[in-house]
Structure 1
Amino acid sequence: MRNSIPMPYVVEQTSRGERTYDLYSRLLKDNIIFLQTPIDDTVASVICAQLIHLESENPDKDIN
């Protein structure tokens, strides 16, 4: 049986109302990649995909 860790959420106020993000999606929106597990092939693929996505969104913005 796998331990289930609750997913943290954040609520962002916008001119159009509230928007709820899971914390990791919100960090990615700010060009922050959060790594919390040892790197294996699957994790490496996810991180590479996030890096490619962020680079394509804004090539001049730093990725943390």
Structure 2
Amino acid sequence: MTIYAPYVIERSSRGERSYDIFSRLLMDRIVFLGTS
């Protein structure tokens, strides 16, 4: 089974960049802690 992560496209005056959602949240220092 393959799991696909959503991605975010960031547009700025320097162009476009795409990030997977987890990398983008980490850049904003948003971290989820939990247990399974």
Give the TM bin, normalised by the shorter chain. Answer: 0.7 to 0.9
Displacement, 1:36? 6.7
Structure 1 segments, 4+ long, off by >3 Å, are: 34-38
**Distance in 1 between residues matched to 2:29 and 2:8, nearest whole Å:** 16
Offset, 1:5: 1.0
Greater C-alpha Rg: 1
Question: Matches of 1:36 and 1:6 in 2, distance apart?
Answer: 21
Structure 1 gap ranges (5+): 39-64
Q: TM-score, normalised by structure 2?
A: 0.75
Q: Hey, which of these two has a bigger chunk of strand by percent? A: 2
Partner amino acid, structure 2, of 1:32: I
TM-score (norm 1): 0.47
Higher relative CO (Cα under 8 Å, sequence separation at least 6) belongs to 2
Tell whether 2:20 aligns with 1:22: yes
Residues matched between the structures, number: 36
Q: In the TM superposition, what is the alpha-carbon distance from 1:31 to its structure 2 partner?
A: 0.5
Structure 2 residue ranges without an equivalent (≥5): none
